[in-house]
Amino acid sequence: MACRKGMWTLSEMLYWFFYIPMAVVVFIAFVKIPNVILENAVQPVELDAALTKEMLFNRMSVFSYPYGTEFSEFRPANSSTWLFLSPKKFGYMISFKDEKFFGNKYFYLDAKPLAGINYRNFAEVRNGILVDLVYPKKYEFFE
Amino acid sequence: MNKKGGILDLVLHPVFVTVVVLGLVFFSVMHAITNIGESKEFDKKRLAADISLLIESFQSVPRELNLFINYDFPSDFNLDIKVNKVKVSNGDSQIFFFERNPDFDVFSRSFKKSDFNNSKLVVFRSGNKLDFAISKNFKLEQDIFCPSSESLLTKIEVFPSTITEWLVKNRPNIFSETSLPSGQADLVVGFMGIPKGVRVYTLDETSLIGCYIIASVVKEFPEISANVVPVNPKFLHGLDDRKIILKEKNSLVIGFSQDIDKKRLAYAIYKGLNNYGLS
């Protein structure tokens, strides 16, 4: 009888041993998960890529003092000064005739073959100039 | 007795525990749902992302345009815009990054939540600057865009005029009066009278300098008409004053009407050349 009571106590102890931590985990999950989901919902990657592309085309256009921006010509510039980049993870390549310019070159070269799997690719050609951008599906940042 | 104990252990105890646990779960779910409704985290993240994208879109618009937008920013949050990130906070903060086009100076600004009481955030682009302000008393300056310059001017020859006197007096090591260009100067500047406003007649080589001069003149005299005019000396008439000066490779001619204050104009020209790059 004493043995049966001991077994009962042990099984109850085991029950509470798992039950209480599980209940705490479930409780925290209910409180935290909605906020994390809401924060991650703000991922305007596509719009961001479209704007960055426009910025690059705008930057590459020749500026004429009396007439303003001329979009039909290419302004060569030092590749390091096409854009001042933030810690946002993305890479781009500008290709014009035989010249190629990169932004976040190593990220671009690593991510480009994986575009469509882990990354998203945004490319456009205007007046013979190719701008090719690669972004992660959700924002990631360089440390 | 044993039977009662059995019912207590087998039925009532698990039922009690289940009810307590379901209650806990129910209240935590309700708490989470209420929090979502009242949560400012999402708003902060959305606002930070929205303003970052707005800054990027302002940098995507053709460079010669000046523009502004009134943004309805809620008075619940503080706003910090620094270098390449937007931070929205009220206690905790949310940030979002934006890229920068080197053609524009994006100004760093901080606003407190009280700044947005009955007032809007103004994002504006004028000339080379992209800046932020509060809508109270905001007026868009009509600055002129000029691409960045890496050139330096160390020797400028100016043809005698009422303006050259001021220039030579203020930087005699750079400006020198001439009646015949030496061929050694970084820039040769001539002056002429025109009926109205200010025009800078430039060659290909000097059009960027002309842009800086005009940008500075417009800032000093916002009410007058001022332009850069590219000139091909080949097509100028033989008796045209500009032909003598513009035969030099690095030269320009500044035309101005007689009603303009010469001292202020000389100062504006000097400032424009300074912005372009005087050593």
Q: Number of Cβ pairs closer than 8 Å across A and B?
A: 116
Residue type, position B96, single letter: F
Quick one: closest CA in A to B207, which residue? A65
The secondary structure of residue A138, as a DSSP letter, is S
Question: For A69-122, what is each residue's pLDDT tens digit?
Answer: 888 777 766 555 789 999 999 999 999 888 888 999 999 999 999 998 989 999
Same domain, B160 and B271: yes
Question: For B131-176, what is each residue's pLDDT tens digit?
Answer: 999 998 798 888 899 988 888 999 999 998 888 888 998 889 999 9
- B149 in contact with chain A, both atoms CB, cutoff 8 A: no
Domain boundaries, position B226: 156-277
Pick among A59, A65, A122, A142 to test the B interface (most B CBs inside 10 A): A65
Same domain, B130 and B161: no
The secondary structure of residue B108, as a DSSP letter, is P
Work out the average pLDDT over B239-252.
Answer: 87
What is the CB-side half-sphere exposure of residue A41 using CA atoms within 13 A?
A: 13
Rounded to the nearest 5 degrees, what angle is found at the Cα of A129, between the Cα atoms of A124 and A133? 45
User: Does residue A28 fall inside a structural domain?
Assistant: yes
Question: For B55-106, what is each residue's pLDDT tens digit?
Answer: 999 999 999 999 999 999 999 999 999 999 999 999 889 999 999 998 899 9
Q: Are A66 and B228 inside 8 Å of each other by CB?
A: yes
What angle in degrees, to the nearest 10, is found between the helix axes of A45-60 and B41-58?
Answer: 20
Same domain, B174 and B89: no
Q: What is the pLDDT of residue A128?
A: 87
Same domain, A102 and A34: no
d(CA B255, CA A96): 40
Q: What is the pLDDT of residue B5?
A: 63
- B18 in contact with chain A, both atoms CB, cutoff 8 A: no
DSSP 3-state assignment of B221? coil
Q: Looking at the complex, report in whole angstroms how far the Cα of residue B60 sits from the nearest Cα belonging to chain A.
A: 4
Q: What is the pLDDT of residue B3?
A: 57
- The verdict on ipTM greater than 0.85 is no
What pTM does this model have? 0.81
Structural domain count, chain B: 2
Q: What is the pLDDT of residue A2?
A: 55
What's the CATH code of the domain at B261? 3.40.630.40
Domain boundaries, position A78: 45-136
DSSP 3-state assignment of A59? helix
- B73 in contact with chain A, both atoms CB, cutoff 8 A: no
Q: What is the pLDDT of residue B146?
A: 92
Question: For B35-61, what is each residue's pLDDT tens digit?
Answer: 666 778 888 999 999 999 999 999 999
d(CA B143, CA B222): 9
Structural domain count, chain A: 2
Question: For A35-70, what is each residue's pLDDT tens digit?
Answer: 677 767 789 999 999 999 999 998 888 888 888 888
Same domain, B181 and B220: yes
Quickly state the pLDDT bin for B2 (edges 50, 70, 90).
low
- B261 in contact with chain A, both atoms CB, cutoff 8 A: no
